[in-house]
Structure 1
Amino acid sequence: MEDPNEQGTNENNTFENAQEEDISQSPSETNVEETDVNNDNVTNTDTQVEANTGSLTDMNDSETKSEQTGYTATWKQGSLGQEKDLRANILERMKSMESKAQDEMWQTFFESRKNAETDNRVQEIDGNFFERFGSRLKENQENQKVKDEKDGILEDMMVQSNVEPLQAASPKEMITTVIGWNIDELYSEILYEVLHIVGTDVAAQQVQLLEYLQEVFKLDSEKHNALLEQVKTKEAPNILLNVEVIEGKELSPKDANGLSDPFCTLFMSSSTVHRYNTSVKSQTLSPRWEEYFSLPVQNVKEDTLHLEVWDFDPAETVREKVSRISEVKGVKGLRKFVKEIAVTASTGKHDNELIGIVDFPIKDIPSNGQTIWCSIHKKPKAKRQGVLRIKMTFGSEKNCQVATQEYKHLVRNLLLYHLEKEKIEPYYWKGEFDILAQTLIRQHVAQSNLSPTDQSLAEFAEFVAVHLDHPLSFTVFSNLLDHLIDIYPSFNEYQVKSFWDSAKKLLPSCFSNLRKLRKSIPNDEHTLTQLSALLSILSSLSQKPIPAEVDLLPDNIYGWIVTPGQNDLHITLKDAVSQGAIDWIDCIIDQNKPESNEDEAVLVNRIKIVQLVRTDLQKAIDHHDEIFKQIMQFPYAATLFQVYEPKMVELCQPLVERLCLQLKPINMSEDSYLNPTEDPLSVSTGTSLFELYLSLKKFYELGKCDKEEVRIHVWFFQAVVNWLDIAQYKALQRIDKAIELDTLTPVDSSVKYSSSAVDTLAIFYQIKIFWEQLAWPDVEGCFTFVAKIIDDMCRSCNHYADKMSKKVDYVQSTSMSNVFQVTPEVSIIVYWNDTLGSINRHVKRFPSNS
């Protein structure tokens, strides 16, 4: 329960904000002089009364202008039949009023009157009727958003706990299963590679690698030592250095024409007799070869690749050389030309001329290979003679399929060991191994002649296999697929099959996570990263045609697909999102049953469900929708709305229409408003209906529907009519109570009017808030309601003036000396002067807001 004093404080704060708003929007043009109600000098009261009386009595020519009794009688003669004239006169009168000074006084007053007891007593007479529909409901709606987000997360967690939970086996159990495959042969092969490390990994400590390998495969020392001794008896492997000579640039010219005819010679320092030559590229200093060679490595620790670049000089006679004198360029070229002729004339031949050389020690080449630009020189520290770009990788004569199979099991064991040792949570491994594991992987690739394509496909297959039991980060697969899709056109038949087999195993996890997206915290960075990677996987796979023989989306796994057998990832994405939304809302409805079959309980239940659905849609718009659109061009939030909207209509429309038909009209005569014929459930039901209307309205606003198609306001038309009828007599009741509690003393030193004026204006302010929240979309209905609201306000003004005049007469007749001196004219004039300006500004906004 809320503290009544606290309610009054909140109410006055809200009212004060409205006054500040009015100050900024009040009209500035006026030529009419007004009474300065801030003047504390009461000696001029008669003059002020006379001036104000004159201005007010202009509203009706038939009224007496000078007599106090006539003035009072004028207001007593007011009747319901004069309300329309009164409304017109009020609006005309207020057009010329200066409002800024009045608003400033209202603001000062409310600041000092936040905890006034009379406020709460006035509100309690009708159970805070106007506040429940006005400021308090508005505050509740604003506060509900934060609460709904928290409740929504809890509801999501409860729902997801009942839908296909993931069962992840421990890494230790998976390792036990995996290493049962041909363990001795695989372990011996890895030991053999550790004992014969190639490349820069030679510096790695062999003892650490052997101990690490034993831990990974979980072998006891006896078994490990026995296999190690067997491996040591084997001969060293036949390691190959695969070299691609790609291109050269800025080579030194060796011919008289300023160019060269370059070619390359390659050989190992341990076998100088086995030389390999590239083709000759004629008359160029920027040759491009792109030629491949495989050179046997005899000693990985001592061998060196030796590469020479030569200028080819064909065998020509002196006459043939002289015939090319026109090609000579420059003095330097002429000298070379003369030298060539002299050598040919004396020896009858001309040898190829060395341009430059470069050496690569095998131990300095990374075990996973490298592509580099290198400078060539004739002698150490001599001037550079040009640059070459070459690619070097290690290989072997091992069968490709055997190497791939061994690599798959090595990677899986290394990964499972890493997950267990580091205790990595599901979806958090991003593809990074420790240093020793990386060394083992590089050595196996180098010594097994495994191509980059086969390596990537093997990793794809094994990462997916582990992912099914211990989910890995989806970024691992999105990065792998980025590379595989680029090289997909070069796949052979076996590689294509391997690719789609792995993709088929991965997709159920992708779509399952999409359906359970609500289980994650929506604004969590890790969640958004995983979602982006997951959608990138679908985007990459959708770029390539699915082979006809591949059943990528089998019916036994994807039973929720609306149109099975299409193998279309975009259609399946829509089905997954829709089915996830259906599962979620069905569970929400099932887990949130009404506390009873009473209409009020059912209404409260519907409000909660709509708020939860609206919150889910808001989270989708705020955090996920843009990601879906950017990566998959998929309208995520719109798809959710298409699922939710029919459910909301099914749940709410029959209930609302039935309750609206049951609301009884308020029968109230002019003299019997204190005891009208009222349905005791009208107020509580009306409040809940209005709250449901606001929730549905915000839900449809999020869906961005065509306003002409959205007709939910029609369901609530009778409820609004009923509420306005109730508000009319509640206002009269509250005004009577406000006047009863009014002590006719100034509410603040800065003003000279009493509490009942403020309480009356507060009623109109709450009605204004109600109307702004209602935001009725139908123009015709809007003006109908506006007309009624203004008529009811004018009737309330009439009622207040009549009742206040009677109270002032009574006070004067009893000669209460302890009350400040005030005449009926002063009380009524001050009220109309100081209060109706704000009333007018609230009232005149209704048509524009609609």
Structure 2
Amino acid sequence: MLATRGSRRKLEIHADMVSRSKVQETDGSFFEAFASLPWRQENRRMQSLKEEEEQKDRPPPSEAAAGLQPKRVVVSQQERENLYVEVLYTVKHKVGATTSEHSSLVDELNDYTQEAFHFSRDEHQRMMTIASDEKPPIVILNLVVVEASGLEAKDADGFSDPYCMLGIVPGAVSGGDRSTPPGSPRVSRSSHAPPAEEDGEERQLNTHADKLRKHHSFRLSFKRKPESRPSVVSSPSSAGSGGGGSGCGREGHRDSLSHAVPAKFIRATTVKPNTLDPRWEEKFRLDHDDETSVLDAVSKLNEVKGVRGMARFFKQVAQSARSGSGGQDDFLGCVNISLQVLDIPSTGLDQWFTLEGRTSKSAVQGRIRLKMWLSTREDRGVSEEDTWSEVIQQQKLFELFVKHELSKYRGPSYRWSGELPTPATTILHQHAVQGDLTELQQAVCRWIAYAEQHQETSLDFRLLLKILKQLNDKFTQDALTYEEQESLAESFKTTLAHCFAVLRKLRKLFPAGNKEAHRKLDSLLKFLAAFSGMEIFRRVLPFQKEIRSEIIQTVKKGCVEWYGRLREQQQLDPSGDDAAVLQSLIKLVNEVCSHCFQAYNHHNQLFMQSVSVPFFATIYKQLEKLVSADIQDTVGRLCSELQNSDIQLSTTPDAMSLTMGTATFELYMATKDLYK
């Protein structure tokens, strides 16, 4: 009985296998092929996850590999030589005392310059000779009378109408050292500052510093800029206070003072009425020449000798300025500052000075804030106010030093910190000081240099954002010339265009699962978000489209371009063989599904958090239209052919019909996954 049952089982199993074999022979293994479709779909998803895992620690693709051509800045040999001579000239004629963050070693600066420019020793010597033969620059003392506080009330209403007078008290040709540290106050209502003490007429001038010491003083040269009125003085006085008279107005004060003494020797700030805490923010420029000195000129003018004589002279000027006004100016205090040119830091001074009386018995109160820094001018036949050539030179120096440091960096460019070595920062600082470039102009030059380098060699967007924020913090639209603002606007436009070009290659440059690529994309989006919210963006590019809308359009364009390349890779030709068309469509839809899956899991959150752009929804709508257009005609035609075909269940269908049916169903499943 057991043997009979076993034999029966064997017969049943054999019969089942024979039955299945017959079914497979009649249907062409259609059901087996159909049953394997879900497994194949799942296998593709697993393969996609495996590829993401493999991308995890790889370096991100380069922009060149994605088809983005670098923008190279070419500098001619003649431009390089001219710039090199300018640097050597700048180093040779350094001004101001070196601070801790800069280098004081001339040889170190020259060696770094030669290394960065890649010039030979012979070329260096030849251009050093050219720089040495040029006439030394004229050193200028820049002084800003910023504000005063806590002044004494001289008027009956409890206020004063303070103004300041400024002048240079020459040092004695012979005698002891009268220099006082810059912080030591002895202020007068006209603030005046003695220059460096002369070391003797016979001393040989071996250095530029010696030449500076030889001159009795700097000539007062207060040249008006379009945006501010020049003035010279630094001792608060109360205009027309005391017994009566309202004092003279601004124009009257200026005119009467100009008639009293030549403007290049003594100048005064404007009068600030009814205040004990005036704020002026008025700038003065004092330079010297070889033809005359303040000491000689003033002595001939009013027989002034020494500090006391100058103080009396200031008083006479003030009285003549108020003559006819019906009132007498009241002394509010003074400050004397020793002007040792070589002791003024190259970064300048910005400090408060306590006001003092004419004598120890004088009772005064309050303090005054002054800013002082050095610059130079060269006798080249151009206006002192025209600094455009210095701006261009500063920008080119930044570009050259950045390129040089990048060439020495051994890691990927996007990991470079952007920091320049001390010799480079010292050269840039001295060039800016001697050219009297403002902090804003320097920030503009730095931004343009780094932005242009980024378009040649990819830098970290966090570095660019840091530089841009520094520029935005210093930005004042009226402080830039037309050329500077146009140059900055062009830099912004090219930078934004480059950023959008990178976003259009998102699929290639920022592969899903790649940590470094994910960080770079996050930095790029945060850079664009911060840029769009900055005042400098709205002021410099007032007609620029909103960055968010530009990002959305860029994502759409990039999506269409990516789909077009994918279509070419799958060799999709609707007019070709039906089976080949179906297989191409299946691969195409599966790739689109994978892309959407990665977009949702890796990119969508970054776009939403940084720029509030629904990345997944944006690309899905685009891809849905593109896929539908490709599938609709082909599938419609194939389905129509299948419906019209005469397939009898009693006969074995041909292999082509079974293949077409299976492929059509597989395309349906892939499309279903896409629309999920």
Could you say whether these structures have the same fold, taking a TM-score greater than 0.5 normalized by the shorter chain as the test? Answer: yes
Contact 1:148–1:615, Cα closer than 8 Å, also in 2 = no
Deviation sequence 1:477-523 (CA, Å, 0-9, x none):
55565636953455443334333443454454333212212222355
Match of 2:508 among 519, 524, 538: 519
Matched residue, 2:146: 246
Deviation sequence 1:771-805 (CA, Å, 0-9, x none):
xxxxxxxxxxxxxxxxxxxxxxxxxxxxxxxxxxx
Contact 2:600–2:616, Cα closer than 8 Å, also in 1 = yes
Match of 1:543 among 496, 520, 538: 538
Contact 1:404–1:454, Cα closer than 8 Å, also in 2 = yes
The CA RMSD over aligned residues, in Å, is: 5.4
Matched residue, 1:354: 333
Output the CA distance in 1 between the equivalents of 2:136 and 2:36.
89
Output the CA distance in 2 between the equivalents of 1:215 and 1:195.
17
Output the CA distance in 1 between the equivalents of 2:147 and 2:397.
36
Contact 2:219–2:286, Cα closer than 8 Å, also in 1 = no
Q: Against the structure 1 CA distance between its residues 598 and 225, is the aligned structure 2 distance closer, same or farther, given a 3 Å change threshold?
A: closer
Give the aligned residue type for 1:583. Answer: E
Deviation at 1:620, TM superposition (A): 3.5
Q: Which secondary structure state, in structure 1, belongs to the residue aligned with residue 233 of structure 2?
A: strand
Output the CA distance in 1 between the equivalents of 2:671 and 2:339.
75
Q: Against the structure 1 CA distance between its residues 362 and 609, is the aligned structure 2 distance closer, same or farther, given a 3 Å change threshold?
A: farther
Deviation at 1:444, TM superposition (A): 0.4
Does 2:385 correspond to 1:406? no
Match of 1:294 among 285, 306, 312: 285
Matches within 5 A, 1:113-192: 132=35, 140=43, 143=46, 146-147=49-50, 149=52, 164-166=67-69, 178=75, 180-192=77-89
Q: Against the structure 1 CA distance between its residues 488 and 676, is the aligned structure 2 distance closer, same or farther, given a 3 Å change threshold?
A: farther
Match of 2:233 among 263, 276, 280: 276
Contact 2:193–2:338, Cα closer than 8 Å, also in 1 = no
Match of 2:374 among 394, 410, 413: 394
Please say which of residues 602-611 and 129-138 is displaced more in the overlay. Answer: 129-138
Larger radius of gyration: 1
Matched residue, 2:183: none
Matches within 5 A, 1:254-653: 263=164, 265-270=190-195, 271=217, 276-277=233-234, 278-279=269-270, 281=272, 284-296=275-287, 352-354=331-333, 366-369=345-348, 372-374=350-352, 376=354, 388-398=368-378, 399-423=386-410, 425-427=412-414, 431-474=418-461, 483=471, 486-488=475-477, 491-521=480-510, 522=512, 524-534=518-528, 543=538, 575-593=553-571, 605-625=584-604, 628=607, 634-653=613-632
Contact 1:160–1:519, Cα closer than 8 Å, also in 2 = no
Q: Which secondary structure state, in structure 2, belongs to the residue aligned with residue 143 of structure 1?
A: helix
Deviation sequence 1:706-750 (CA, Å, 0-9, x none):
xxxxxxxxxxxxxxxxxxxxxxxxxxxxxxxxxxxxxxxxxxxxx
Contact 1:254–1:355, Cα closer than 8 Å, also in 2 = no
Contact 1:178–1:413, Cα closer than 8 Å, also in 2 = no
Matched residue, 1:217: 117
Contact 1:515–1:581, Cα closer than 8 Å, also in 2 = yes
Output the CA distance in 1 between the equivalents of 2:62 and 2:409.
31
Give the aligned residue type for 1:189. Answer: E
Deviation at 1:366, TM superposition (A): 4.8
Give the aligned residue type for 2:404. Answer: Y
Deviation sequence 1:177-217 (CA, Å, 0-9, x none):
52513444432322222122223426621110111111122
Q: Against the structure 1 CA distance between its residues 656 and 223, is the aligned structure 2 distance closer, same or farther, given a 3 Å change threshold?
A: closer
Contact 1:244–1:293, Cα closer than 8 Å, also in 2 = yes
Deviation at 1:438, TM superposition (A): 0.8
Give the aligned residue type for 2:123. Answer: K
Give the aligned residue type for 1:440. Answer: I
How many residue pairs align between the two structures?
Answer: 502
Deviation at 1:441, TM superposition (A): 0.6
Q: Which secondary structure state, in structure 2, belongs to the residue aligned with residue 292 of structure 1?
A: strand
Contact 1:376–1:384, Cα closer than 8 Å, also in 2 = no
Q: Which secondary structure state, in structure 2, belongs to the residue aligned with residue 247 of structure 1?
A: strand
Output the CA distance in 2 between the equivalents of 1:242 and 1:513.
46
Contact 1:475–1:534, Cα closer than 8 Å, also in 2 = no
Q: Against the structure 1 CA distance between its residues 159 and 581, is the aligned structure 2 distance closer, same or farther, given a 3 Å change threshold?
A: farther
Q: Against the structure 1 CA distance between its residues 367 and 141, is the aligned structure 2 distance closer, same or farther, given a 3 Å change threshold?
A: same
Q: Unpaired segments of 5 or more residues in structure 1?
A: 1-120, 299-305, 316-348, 553-566, 669-674, 702-850
Contact 1:604–1:688, Cα closer than 8 Å, also in 2 = yes
Bigger fraction of residues in helix: 1
Q: Which secondary structure state, in structure 2, belongs to the residue aligned with residue 612 of structure 1?
A: helix
Contact 2:351–2:371, Cα closer than 8 Å, also in 1 = no
Contact 1:251–1:355, Cα closer than 8 Å, also in 2 = no
Give the aligned residue type for 1:289. Answer: W
Contact 1:614–1:699, Cα closer than 8 Å, also in 2 = yes
Give the aligned residue type for 2:423. Answer: L
- Relative to the length of structure 1, the TM-score reads 0.48
Q: Percent identity?
A: 26
Q: Which secondary structure state, in structure 2, belongs to the residue aligned with residue 242 of structure 1?
A: strand
Give the aligned residue type for 1:502. Answer: S
Q: Against the structure 1 CA distance between its residues 268 and 696, is the aligned structure 2 distance closer, same or farther, given a 3 Å change threshold?
A: farther
Output the CA distance in 2 between the equivalents of 1:139 and 1:651.
24
Please say which of residues 514-523 and 252-261 is displaced more in the overlay. Answer: 252-261
Matched residue, 1:555: none
Deviation at 1:429, TM superposition (A): 5.2
Match of 2:104 among 181, 190, 204: 204
Contact 2:346–2:373, Cα closer than 8 Å, also in 1 = yes
Give the aligned residue type for 1:433. Answer: L
Give the aligned residue type for 1:243. Answer: L
Output the CA distance in 2 between the equivalents of 1:365 and 1:622.
59
Q: Against the structure 1 CA distance between its residues 479 and 410, is the aligned structure 2 distance closer, same or farther, given a 3 Å change threshold?
A: same
Contact 1:241–1:297, Cα closer than 8 Å, also in 2 = no
Deviation at 1:440, TM superposition (A): 0.6
Give the aligned residue type for 1:448. Answer: G
Q: Which secondary structure state, in structure 2, belongs to the residue aligned with residue 219 of structure 1?
A: coil
Give the aligned residue type for 2:192. Answer: F
Q: Against the structure 1 CA distance between its residues 693 and 249, is the aligned structure 2 distance closer, same or farther, given a 3 Å change threshold?
A: farther
Deviation at 1:472, TM superposition (A): 4.1
Q: Unpaired segments of 5 or more residues in structure 2?
A: 1-16, 165-188, 196-216, 221-231, 235-268, 290-306, 320-327, 358-362, 379-385
Deviation at 1:294, TM superposition (A): 1.9
Give the aligned residue type for 1:394. Answer: L
Output the CA distance in 2 between the equivalents of 1:535 and 1:695.
37
Q: Which secondary structure state, in structure 2, belongs to the residue aligned with residue 449 of structure 1?
A: coil
Q: Against the structure 1 CA distance between its residues 619 and 535, is the aligned structure 2 distance closer, same or farther, given a 3 Å change threshold?
A: farther
Give the aligned residue type for 1:439. Answer: T
Q: Which secondary structure state, in structure 2, belongs to the residue aligned with residue 404 of structure 1?
A: helix
Deviation at 1:293, TM superposition (A): 1.8
Give the aligned residue type for 1:699. Answer: L
